[in-house]
Copies of this chain bind each other. A is one copy, B any other.
Amino acid sequence: MISGKNYIGNTLSAKGKVTYTTFNPKLNIKNPWTFYEASEEELEEAVQMAAEAFELYSMVPGKQKAQFLRTIADKIESLGNELIDTYMKESGLPEGRAIGERGRTLGQLRMFANLLEEGDWVEASIDTAIPDRKPVPKPDLRKILTPIGPVVVFGSSNFPLAYSTAGGDTASALAAGCPVIVKSHPMHAGTGELVASAIVTAAKICGMPDGVFSNLNSSDIQVGQQLVKHPFVKAVGFTGSIAGGTALHKLSNERKEPIPVFAEMGSINPVVILPSALRENPQHLASTYADSITLGTGQFCTNPGLILTSETDGLDIFLESLGQEILNKEAGLMLHPDIHRKYEEGQKEMSVQEGTSVVAEYQKKTAPNYAKPKILTVAGRTFLTNTNLHNEVFGPFSLVVKCSDLEEMKNIIAELEGQLTGTIIGNEEELKVNAPLIAQLKERVGRLIFNGVPTGVEVCPSMVHGGPFPATTDSRFTAVGPDAIRRWVRPVSYQDWPDALLPDSLKNSNPLKILRRVNGKLTIESI
């Protein structure tokens, strides 16, 4: 049952006066629940509790944290249809997507549980002493990754489960040993509360310290800002717009003690189509990309918003087919009227840029909050001189750039901002011949894709969901996959520390049987 209250640690609380509701975009009506915006007092309490919980939670052994994450997953599963139903009412996303995203969320929690159970992730490193070394003795040094402190996680609009309350940021931070305070996304506060209740239940069952998790409701920006400014908060995870992410990043750097903010923000995910692909199978390519552009009504951070082509045989057929395919798609429901409004504004803003022309625009009448897919095209030389054309339009939209040749395409890539992904469509020979172009693209992205689509982000160790600014605020980390945990840890070194008092990972006997770097060599041997 949704109460509309905040979780301050394990306790439901509604001390604030401001309330708000969520919205069902499909029915175009408000949902029945009333949510209480967290008050300053509640926020302060949540952060204080997180700081106190950190003292205990940072010491909890990996296997117990793993059990906590598994129990969270189980309790989310136990929410059953109520969760799926609420998710659909608050996002307009279909049941299949709801179930799929729940599966991804559970999978992520269990992946981090596995990581903790294996235990190697702490990167234990031991350099033993050489007491008789000249001119000075070498001390015994042992290093391990340790949690950074309480983390604030901002839920995303477009992944109510997998990148929100118990999503990748929360799962990785809890795995690291950091308490988490979620700033719940106002568009799906009910989904958020249900998931929060599962986390709180799991925390109680597993005997985790009260305050290891809190869930704060907020429909405005103050709660988020205050969280980022709070001296007890030590890191921030955010998934959302460039404006939102850069504002938080700026705020964190104005603190007396600046803290790391990992914000995953905007990306237009350039797709580079080399000549062979246009010549050989333009219709098939058009069909594949029409699917990718409209998948989930284009509401993925890896949506292909920019397609770079060159004037070669097949380009006209590709454009015509792409237009045709787009017109054959159904209009797609968007997450929220605000997001639909922004889509309409964004695509219109692009359409009025000089030199753009419409390849296809969905024409039929639609119900409220449904987006009309749209494809524009523009010449390479125009794109090069107008950076407005680099802007992301969040939704089923793509801009096809017709470059006069591959040299112009390379120049365009060199001018692009940082991106999550870059895709190359072509054959191996073209890849080889165009090495400098590919190298340019590589410098701008976190993930390079060959003959595929950028949508679809596999959760696995080799995934990089990140990239140079403004795709993220720190290209040295990924938001997806086990390495996402590295955002919330720092190394600490123990010098000449008594063996009995070292963390288990660093003890001579290697009681956890983990892989360690001992005097430079990886081994599971004891010392």
Interface residue ranges, A against B (CB under 8 Å): 55, 58-59, 125-127, 136, 138-139, 141-143, 146, 148-149, 249-250, 253, 257-260, 417-418, 428, 431-432, 436, 439, 442-443, 445-452, 456, 458, 460-464, 466, 468-470, 473-476, 478, 483, 486-487, 489-498, 500-501, 515, 517, 520, 522
Partner of A127, one of B138, B439, B448, B460: B460
Judge whether B258 and A495 touch: CB under 8 Å: no
Contact A491-B446, Cβ < 8 Å, known A257-B418, A462-B127, A462-B143: yes
Contact A458-B498, Cβ < 8 Å, known A257-B469, A463-B493, A469-B258: no
Partner of A450, one of B58, B260, B496: B496
Judge whether A492 and B517 touch: CB under 8 Å: no
Distance A139 CA – B139 CA, assembled complex (angstroms): 47
Judge whether B522 and A446 touch: CB under 8 Å: no
Mind listing 6 A-B residue pairs with CB under 8 Å? A55-B439, A58-B439, A142-B462, A447-B492, A448-B493, A463-B493
Distance A136 CA – B292 CA, assembled complex (angstroms): 14
Greatest chain B CB density within 10 A among A449, A486, A489 is at A449
Partner of A468, one of B125, B257, B483: B257
Q: Which residues of chain B have C-beta atoms less than 8 A from A468's C-beta? A: 257, 490
Q: Which residues of chain B have C-beta atoms less than 8 A from A428's C-beta? A: 498, 500-501
Judge whether A461 and B517 touch: CB under 8 Å: yes
Q: Which residues of chain B have C-beta atoms less than 8 A from A445's C-beta? A: 492
Q: Which residues of chain B have C-beta atoms less than 8 A from A460's C-beta? A: 127, 138, 141
Distance A418 CA – B500 CA, assembled complex (angstroms): 26
- Interchain nearest-CB distance for A513 vs B (Å): 15
Greatest chain B CB density within 10 A among A250, A418, A501 is at A501
Distance A450 CA – B487 CA, assembled complex (angstroms): 28
Partner of A491, one of B470, B483, B501: B483
Contact A451-B496, Cβ < 8 Å, known A143-B463, A253-B253, A464-B491: yes
Greatest chain B CB density within 10 A among A142, A478, A498 is at A498
Chain B's closest residue to A59 (CB) is B439
Judge whether A127 and B431 touch: CB under 8 Å: no
Q: Which residues of chain B have C-beta atoms less than 8 A from A450's C-beta? A: 494-498
Q: Which residues of chain B have C-beta atoms less than 8 A from A476's C-beta? A: 148, 260, 486-487, 489-491
